[in-house]
Amino acid sequence: MAELTHLDPEGRPKMVDVSEKAVTRRRAIAAGYLELDAPAAEALARGGGPKGDPWSVARIGAVGGVKRASDLIPLAHPLAIEAVDVTHHWDAVARRAWLRVAVSCEGRTGIEMEALAGVTVGLLVLYDMLKAVSHGMTLGPARLLRKEGGRRGTVVLPWAGCPWEP
């Protein structure tokens, strides 16, 4: 059974020492969705509401979430992000606004938290852009689809119903 790495022997939180780890190419892809009620879905399909184009602002918000992950997650290491790719997809039938965030860097620790932070912050921005029309939205789930690099190598986590392959 794997042990929790962010706890010291007494069970107190600690930041993991990654100084002995090899620097490797790291990549992570995460996705998630915001489920919208009919008024919010109609506003998104029209291109937005009173605040403008929600997709553009959500994409910028997702990049900001990636860049601020170590500020939001107390034990996450700050990483030198090299690339962020944000993609969106509108599923009109299920009324789901999907975001996919792919992040890469070279480093000593994984970049999954950055990808997940990007997805969730981007979806929160989308909520903020549409809430003038309706508060009938539900955030999530969001999850990791793929990670590459590090000790475990490549990990692929398929998600049935997700518009993207891991």
Mind telling me the catalytic residues? 128
What is the distance, to the nearest Å, from the Cα of residue 50 to the centroid of all Cα atoms in its chain?
Answer: 26
* 123 touches 97 (CB < 8 A): yes
For the range 138-143, what are the long-range contacts, defined as Cβ-Cβ under 8 Å and sequence gap of 24 or more?
138/34, 138/35, 139/32, 139/34, 140/32, 140/33, 140/34, 141/32, 141/33, 142/30, 142/31, 142/32, 142/33, 142/116, 143/30, 143/31, 143/32, 143/116
User: Are 118 and 136 a contacting pair, CB within 8 Å?
Assistant: no
